[in-house]
Amino acid sequence: MITSVLVANRGEIACRVFRTCRELGVSTVAVYSDADASALHVREADAAVRLPGAAPADTYLRGDLIVKAALAAGADAVHPGYGFLSENAEFARAVMDAGLVWIGPPPSAIEAMASKTRAKQLMGGAPLDPSTVTDADLPLLVKAAAGGGGRGMRVVRELASLAAELETAGSEAASAFGDGEVFLEPYIERGRHVEVQVLADAYGTVWALGTRDCSLQRRHQKVIEESPAPGLPDALVATLHESAVTAARAVGYRGAGTVEFLISPEGRAHFLEMNTRLQVEHPVTEAVFGIDLVAQQLRVAEGEALPPGPPPGRGHAVEARLYAEDPSKGWRPQTGVLHALEVSGCLPAHRPMSAGGGSPQAPDGPALRAGGEAVHGLPWVRVDTGYAAGDSIGVHYDPMIAKVIAWAPTRDQAVRRLAHALRRARVHGPVTNRALLVRSLEHPEFTGAQLDTGFYERNLDALTLPGDGERYAAIAAALADAAARRGAWRNLHSQPQVKAYGAHEVRYRLTRDGFLLVDDPGVRVVHVTPHRVRLEIDGVVRPFDVTGHGDGFVHVDSPAGAYALPVRPRFTEPRERTRPGSLLAPMPGTVVRVGEGLAEGVRVTQGQPLVWLEAMKMEHRILSPASGTLTALHAVPGRQVEVGTLLAVVQNADVHNADVQEEREA
């Protein structure tokens, strides 16, 4: 029997595993880098061991340190989570050699499947040879052999860029997974990403737990996932299940794993890879089948046998990944303090979830299950997160804040529940993709189950346009601020007061009868307090909750949506002047390299990559804003920089801020 589990991971997945361990009566041990010293997963564990340093290569990728931590803390088992060392056979062997239980598949299965190149060969395919590809093979996809999550992945549409994309993909893969091997495969336009969850024991039983569609992706990293994958013919589902079970049996698999496929527009299934670990999107399968996959992992690791067949699936579940990023600016990651994280209709994420089973009951049943408790009259909404209010989102790791999951008897109901929960959520702090998620869930292509991996490439511009609600939110913010500073009204006519938030200027007067808006005749002010404003908009009264946290933003929440509006100061603060052509760091991060042959006095051209920054496990290229001479180069590999740090100066350049091209962009 397992009595104490060390989770060789961090953040959301560590907290997720801890929840199940607590329900099963198993003690927990966390490991943490210096950057994670006060992280939620450290606070929630029964014991924690420091891994000195901040970079993954020095901490969460150091298997020797993690094994020592498990032994020192008295753990008798190790759960790898996902990412980092979760698909590293050497680490699995080291855990077992130390006398600890490995909560995962045998190292031989990891070796067979964790390398995407070996997995393709095992399943009857082979990667393309870079030296033999031609224009006829385009487009191509460069992929990391040892990992996933979109890191180390690039789309190549021109042969001239192949060598550079192989190099950058390998660099990113080495940083994220400790292995820089990459390979090539054909890139299928408008394909669907569909996967099968498998669960296997040591006695030959293998379950195929339905399908998941994970087609909505940005930079080849999943954003919205659902189960079951909608609209697939029964024959294709049967083929996917059979292929997944065959793959698991072929390598003597044990525990939870996922077999991934790309479905072409013609309906043909192409094997992509097998992830020999738990997937980020596993909660949608748990919701549909009413089981706790982490609990099943522990039971299989303890030697228990699975029943002959899986439980029946019920209903539909959809998951959205909430990221600290700005989709309107190339998905640029964001950092800062998370002041609030509250999701409507959801029990707190730290409460345990059911480890045994029982599908969530339909609305006409006795109860809906969420967080491990029976709750009447609430939608089934779940949040998995590694953050709590007051925590800081830093630069060292993935920018995912939380996963929000909704279950319902039908797909339409589940999608509607999730969109409603996200729209009404209070998420205060760095800019997030929350608005994009809501609009994605409500987009006709998604609601109509017309899914493929090009969704954001086609629709991103429309999905990130500011709506009318932002104007009303700015009005509410201005009036709430005025109420907090309210003085006597003036009997004599005077110039209106002006407050600015982002692109919006709000002009108003305080009269005997209250606030009067100058530029918004269709809006009437009904009621104003420092934290709540009610506006009548075209005859309909709508409430707005206004909150400030002193971080340069005002947060406005309403039933129609939520907004984080930057506060424009009344008077411009003096700033240090920068020379024309200065390239300033657009985000905090680490300089990983500079362009080959760059030095002061070298001639550069507009759009030429000069500096590579790594932030939140992604690489970003800083491009020359114009053609000219490089008169200063302050970027040094390994240097940590903050937003606004001067990286380089290009003489005669007219643009003052660095242009950023996301390395994952197709």
Catalytic residues: 277
| DSSP letter string, 555-597 | EEEETTEEEEEEEEPSSPPP-----TTEEE-SS-EEEEEE-TT
Q: Is 12 exposed, middle or buried (0-12, 13-18, 19+ CB in 10 A)?
A: buried
Q: Is 491 exposed, middle or buried (0-12, 13-18, 19+ CB in 10 A)?
A: exposed
Query: How many other CB atoms are there within 10 angstroms of residue 286's CB atom?
Result: 26
Q: What CA–CA distance (Å, rounded) separates 457 from 434?
A: 18
C-alpha distance from residue 657 to each of 168, 580, 644, 660 (Å): 23, 9, 9, 9
CA angle 151, 193, 306 (to 5 degrees): 95
| DSSP letter string, 391-438 | -EE-SSS--EEEEEEEEESSHHHHHHHHHHHHHT-EEESS--SHHHHH
- Cβ(236)–Cβ(268) below 8 Å: no
Q: What CA–CA distance (Å, rounded) separates 637 from 328?
A: 28
Two structure tokens written together for 129: 């040879």
Evaluated on CA atoms 176, 178, 182, 186, the torsion sign reads negative
Q: What CA–CA distance (Å, rounded) separates 620 from 661?
A: 6
- Cβ(51)–Cβ(32) below 8 Å: yes
Bridge partners, 505 (sequence order)? 500
Contact partners, residue 477, CB within 8 Å, separation at least 6: 499, 501, 506, 546, 554, 556, 565
| DSSP letter string, 277-290 | S--TTHHHHHHHHT
Contact partners, residue 282, CB within 8 Å, separation at least 6: 197, 256, 293
The helix-helix angle for 107-114 and 89-97 (nearest 10°) equals: 170
Two structure tokens written together for 325: 């990023």
- Cβ(223)–Cβ(321) below 8 Å: yes
Instruction: List the one residue out of 203, 201, 227 whose CA is nearest residue 215.
Output: 227
Q: What CA–CA distance (Å, rounded) separates 168 from 633?
A: 21
Instruction: List the one residue out of 543, 485, 493, 544 whose CA is nearest residue 516.
Output: 493
Bridge partners, 226 (sequence order)? 213, 318
**What is the rounded radius of gyration, in angstroms, for the C-alpha atoms of the chain?**
26
Evaluated on CA atoms 387, 389, 392, 394, the torsion sign reads positive
Two structure tokens written together for 611: 């500096």
